[in-house]
Amino acid sequence: MTTAAEVDVIAKLICKGIDPQSRAKGIQSYQREIVAEFPAIYKAKVLVPRFGLTLKPWSNWETENTSPLWWKANNNVKHQRSEFFHEATLKNLLNAVAALLLFLVLYYGEEIKDLAPKSALFVPNSFCVKIGGDWMYMHMS
C-alpha cells in the first residue's frame, strides 16, 4: 500500500511537470495527462533478471480510462481487506514497485540516468527521460 501511495505522489508531480496548472487527482486523471505526454508509457518494461521476470506495470494504460490491475487490487485490499485479501499478492507488489521505478525515472530523468542501469534487481528496460529540454523514449536491450 505504501508503494501505491508513492506512485500517487510521483504521478501528481509528473502531471505538475507536464502542466504546472494540473489538477490531476486519481489514477484516471493521471492516465489522461501522462499518456498525452508519453503515449508509449504502456510499453515500458522493468526487468527482474535474477528471476527472469519482465513487468509492464502500465500496460493497461493502452486503453483509455483503465487502471492498472495492481492499482485496482491495492484499492480493493485497502478499502475491503477482508473481502479482497487474496489480491494482496507478490505479483501485484512487484508491479507496483516496477510502476514506481518507472515513474521515478520519468520524474527525475537526467538526474538519475547514470544510476538506472546499476540496479541488479529491478532494471528499467524502457522508459522516458528528459535530456536537455526534450523527453526521449529509451529502450535498453
pTM of the model: 0.78
DSSP of 44-102: --EEEGGGTEEE-TTGGGGSTT---HHHHHHHHHHH-HHHHGGG--HHHHHHHHHHHHH
Query: Could you report the per-residue pLDDT of 2-20, keeping only the tens digit for each?
Result: 899 999 999 999 999 999 9
What stretch of H or E contains 138?
strand 134-139
Q: Which of the four pLDDT bands, split at 50, 70 and 90, describes residue 120?
A: very low
Q: How far apart are CA 108 and CA 82, in angstroms?
A: 37
